[in-house]
């Protein structure tokens, strides 16, 4: 297995990846957009270049890579496009405002692509995990989990693959029963209370983990 190192924060990353794979004679059958990171802390305290890099990786790169490969995936009609959002997509996220907004974009964007790809054979899915035990926290810091229990990457991937294997895959899926209940609970609470609840969790976690 070989890797192709690309800076996803740079404009044109999707086209660069496609061109380099073409040069190597690699036929892409499916695409997973899972790269992403978060800046943790109040929005007004963050450095603007850091926030713009976060948007470039979490939003722009997803759009560029999806656009670069979508025509071929639709033509093949037997693969999938999987974009990774987050439970952060479902409400405002105090101390991770850009990350939550970026993942809300990924959720809405991918659900739209799911509808556009119907009847082509291409399966489009957005995966919205909660806190997962990955390198994400090496950048965002341990406090970014809001004190929630982290799922294993294996459990998250298994949920995605199970959804893709359905005869009629849904546009989106949330791994973990507690995460699914949290999404429903957030809708019942309303957007104001949901944002307040997340803010309180993040503040309590910050107080416990210096």
Beta bridge partners of 33: 83
Residue 142 DSSP label:
G
Are the CB atoms for 93 and 145 separated by under 8 Å? no
> Is 99 tagged catalytic?
yes
The token pair that represents 98 in the structure block: 């850009």
From the candidates 69, 99, 114, 136, give the one annotated as an active-site residue.
99
Residue owning tokens 């033509």: 75
Residue 28, CA distances (Å) to 14, 53, 60, 111, 158 in order: 13, 27, 20, 22, 21
Active site residues: 99
């Amino acid at each position: 297995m070989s890797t192709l190192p690309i800076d996803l924060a740079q404009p044109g990353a999707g086209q660069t990846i496609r061109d380099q794979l073409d040069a190597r004679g690699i036929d892409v059958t499916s695409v997973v957009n899972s790269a992403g990171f978060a800046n943790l802390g109040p929005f007004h305290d963050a450095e603007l270049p850091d926030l713009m890099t976060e948007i470039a990786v979490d939003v722009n790169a997803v759009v560029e890579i999806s656009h670069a490969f979508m025509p071929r995936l639709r033509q093949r009609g037997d693969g999938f496009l999987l974009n990774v959002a987050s439970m952060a997509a479902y409400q405002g996220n105090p101390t991770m405002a850009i990350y939550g907004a970026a993942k809300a974009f990924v959720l809405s964007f991918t659900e739209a692509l799911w509808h556009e790809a119907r009847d082509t054979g291409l399966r489009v899915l957005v995966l919205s995990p909660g806190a997962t035990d990955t390198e994400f926290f090496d950048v965002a810091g341990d406090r970014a989990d809001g004190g929630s229990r982290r799922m294993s990457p294996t459990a998250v991937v298994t949920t995605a693959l199970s959804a893709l294997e359905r005869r009629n895959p849904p546009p989106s899926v949330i791994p973990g029963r507690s995460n699914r209940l949290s999404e429903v609970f957030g809708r019942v609470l309303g957007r104001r209370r949901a944002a307040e609840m997340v803010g309180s969790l993040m503040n309590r976690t910050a107080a416990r983990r210096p």
